[in-house]
Each structure stands twice: as C-alpha cells, then as structure tokens.
Structure 1
Amino acid sequence: MKNKKTMEVAVKEENAENEPNGSESKLKDKKKRLLKEAEKADKRGVCYLSRIPPHMDHVKLRHILSQFGDIQRIFLAPEDSSAPVSTKRSRGARDQAYSEGWVEFKNKRLAKRVANMLNGEQIGGKKRSSFYYDLWNIKYLSKFKWDDLTEELALKKAIREQKIALELSAAKRERDLYLSKVDKSRALNAIEERLKKVLYPVQILLNTILKVAFGENFMY
C-alpha cells in the first residue's frame, strides 16, 4: 500500500514537471493573440486622403465613411504651422486644420471599392455642412499597411526635427555674425571718440600758434 502511494506521488510530480508553468503559458497565449492580430492586420486595407476639407475631423470622417463599411483606424495629419495664413483663415479660428489623412478599412476589397466609388465625387451630406460641395480625394494604397504609416510618420518627424535644427543653427550663425559686426562697430566708434579727445587739444594748440604767427584771421 505504501509503495502504491509513493508511485502515485512520483507520477504527479513528473506530470507537474512536464506541464508548462504559469508565465510560459501566458507568454504562449500572448504570442497567439499577436499572431491573430497580425493576420487581421494583413487583411485590412488603407486609403489615403490627399486633402482634408475645412472643418472636417476624425469624428465626421468616420461618420461619413462608416456608411460604406467597417473602419478600424483613422489618422489625420495636422496642418503645418508654416502654412499660408489665407489657408488657416478659411478653416476657421477654432477648428484644427488637417492637411492629409489615412483610413484603415476592415479588408482590402472594401477599401479599394470605397476609394474607386468616392474619388472625385461630391462629399455631400447635409447642405448646411461646410464641406457639402467639396470633392473626395481618396486613393487605395495597394500593399500598404498601418505599420508603414507609423514608420513614415516617424521618418517625417525625424526629417522635420533635423530641418528645424538646421534652421536654428543657421539663425544662430546669423545672430553671431550680426553681434560681431555690432561689436566691431562699437569698437571703431570708441576708437574714434578717443582719437577726438586726444586730437582736439592738439588742434586748439596748433590754431593758437598759427594765429599768433600769422594773425587772428588765420584759420587752420
């Protein structure tokens, strides 16, 4: 009887050793979820909007395009702060202006169909809306994934930061050059003032000597 219990305990311990622990099980579950998400992402399609009408935002865009199919994600790029003032005014003082956008649909076929159907067509909707008469500028991006967008945005950000750094460096060089010219001008003015102070008594003395020698009417 004792040997039988000992064997049962040994079998249980062996089974426990063969079973994966809690952390390994969670890791496997996480990998499975990531693989499923990656598979879903491969099936999705992305459309590019080269122009965002005034007063259009994420909520309004999703509301309009959701009528044609399921939308996953939307990204609208804020308009550059260096854009012309006239463009900013046309969008209104309170609204955030956007220059371009990307829309991710549930599948590629849907994204392609929506782009082909809407591109060049009037946006429409309520006549009171400010973009009622605007036209869609939408294109389906073949073999384009949302991850490509994040990489592109990161690259644009790096380029923009580099451009700003170069502009700041150029501005500092111009400032230093200006300050050096100002310092030189001040130095020359100071030298001129010192020379005047030194030469003025000499000139008076010379005029006095010449007047004594040649008469009061003589001027040097």
Structure 2
Amino acid sequence: LYQHHKDSTMSSDENENNKSGKFVRLSADPEDVGTSSADPPKERKRKKGIIYISNIPKYMTVAILKEFLGEFGKVGRVYLQNNKSEDEPTKKKKKMRRYTEGWVEFESKKVAKLLAQRLNGKPITTRKSSKFCDILWNLKYLSRFKWVHLSERLTYEKAVYRQRLQTEITLARKEATFYGENLDRSEKLRKRKSK
C-alpha cells in the first residue's frame, strides 16, 4: 500500500519524519507502523562520448594517445585502424605500426564534445623536442554514435574483406585450371601433328 505523506491516515509524528513529499510504503504489520522504507535514488548512467580522429600521425600509439587525451578527461576505450597497405606480411624487419584513423571513447559525453571543439585544428603539442610538434589535431565528435556501432562496422568490414579474398582465390583457381587444361590440349595437338 502506498500513500502520500500528507494523507490524513498518518500520525503527526510520521508527518514530521517524512517531510520530503515522497510516497511511503506502509506495511500491514502493526509493528512496522511509523517506519518508512523509501527507495534509494537510482544513479543515472553517464552517457559516454566518442571522438573520431581522421588522421593519426606517425609514431602515435594507443598508449601515447591515451596519455595526451587523458589530461582532459577520463578515457575509456581506444581503437586505431591499421594502415591497409601495411597489413600484408613482409619478410623485412618488424616495422612500427602506422595507423590511419581512430576512435576514442570518453566516460563523459560533455568532455568529449568540449574536447573536440577546443582541440580540433590545434597543435598536438608545443614542445619542440616532440615528434608531434608541428602536427594538428583532426577531431570530430560523433553524436549519437556508440561503441557498438563501431564494433558492428568493423565486423562487417572484416566479413567483406574475407569474402573478397575468397572470391579472388576461387577466381585464381579457375584461371589456373583453365590454363592447365589449355596447355594439356595444346600438347596433345602437337603430338598428333608430329605423328
């Protein structure tokens, strides 16, 4: 049973204790009369904000990026997209990974918006000894964008990439069998002509 605290059925002591104006659960048990169990206030889940970085400078890693952006607010997840041309395996020495674009998730949507507005077009650092001295930030706040959307996009791109590889492999096999069959035919024709 729920009643408002100004209800006439409550005693004056209960009215003094419950001046908050909230509804109070009244138990049917006579021993519990006068005690209230108001629900604790629910914490609102903070909305996270995601920033898109369209250009990742050379030598920039996830750790360095977190260090730079962590000064302005709490950084959650970070994803940097590998350079497509460098994904292919090479026999050369292990190179430093190069990234083309990236996404950074901040714990606060407000911080992410503010950061994108203030840092976009500004130099990454002003220290002359830094590798990122003359490079500008290229940031954009993605409104209504969630990390799930990014995950879905990446899985879709991987599936498309695998499908494309599979079609190229089947096409190469067909060409190889076609040329092999033609070679066998031409050899048979030569043998017939030589007889």
- Cα deviation, 1:71-91, whole Å, max 9, x if unaligned, reads 1111111111368xxxxxxxx
- Correspondence 1:164 to 2:168: no
Q: CA offset at residue 185 of structure 1?
A: 2.0
Distance 1:182 1:132 in 2: 61
- Aligned residue for 1:60? 64
- Cα deviation, 1:115-169, whole Å, max 9, x if unaligned, reads 1111222222542333321221211000011111111111111111111111112
Distance 2:94 2:140 in 1: 29
- Cα deviation, 1:91-120, whole Å, max 9, x if unaligned, reads x96211112110001111111111111122
- Correspondence 1:94 to 2:100: no
Distance 1:187 1:125 in 2: 75
Q: Aligned letter for 2:146?
A: K
User: Number of matched residues?
Assistant: 150
- Cα deviation, 1:42-72, whole Å, max 9, x if unaligned, reads x100011112111110011011111111111
Percentage of identical aligned residues: 37
Q: Which runs of 5+ in 1 are unaligned?
A: 1-35, 84-91, 196-220
Q: Aligned letter for 2:124?
A: I
Distance 1:82 1:186 in 2: 43
- Aligned residue for 1:134? 135
1:77 to 75, 81, 85: 81
Distance 2:183 2:129 in 1: 59
Runs of 4+ in 1 over 4 A off after TM superposition: none
Helix, strand or coil for the counterpart of 1:69?
coil
Q: Which runs of 5+ in 2 are unaligned?
A: 1-42, 88-92
- Aligned residue for 2:45? 39
- Aligned residue for 1:152? 153
Q: CA offset at residue 181 of structure 1?
A: 1.9
Q: 1:58 to 1:125 in 2, by over 3 A?
A: farther
Q: Aligned letter for 1:49?
A: I
Pick the structure with more strand per residue: 2
Distance 2:65 2:74 in 1: 13
Distance 2:95 2:86 in 1: 17
Q: Aligned letter for 2:138?
A: N
RMSD: 2.5
Distance 1:98 1:123 in 2: 16
Q: 1:151 to 1:39 in 2, by over 3 A?
A: farther
- Between Structure 1 and Structure 2, whose CA radius of gyration is higher? 1
Q: Aligned letter for 2:107?
A: K
- Aligned residue for 1:187? 188
